[in-house]
Structure 1
């Protein structure tokens, strides 16, 4: 699904989204969509808990155009 569709599914449930290609590359990145001042929160599960959340993630054009977005 595209990023909008993934956000539409994840946001009401408070879930995160990721790209299948990120999983295949073992990047272990998840994006938590919010309507807060934190905007999109990038979660890197490879880092220690106190360092794994990055507020204000800005997607690339490739990320926005991708159709391999999934929810957890």
Structure 2
């Protein structure tokens, strides 16, 4: 059996975590590119997280939360 290709859909309906990430990013005064640079991923990765098309690894989720000054549970909980 081959692995699933394509984006990994976030577990919450409607990408609720994505909305919280977007709000926290804007409150932190960061652009998508600014957050991407801070956590060392592409801007497209940030876009995918904000639209709910990508669920990050625990490691990346922690990096994003730290960059935004928010607890991981607040963003993805």
User: Which TM-score bucket, shorter chain as reference?
Assistant: under 0.3
More strand by share: 1
What is the TM-score of this pair, normalised by structure 2?
Answer: 0.26
Larger helix fraction of residues: 2
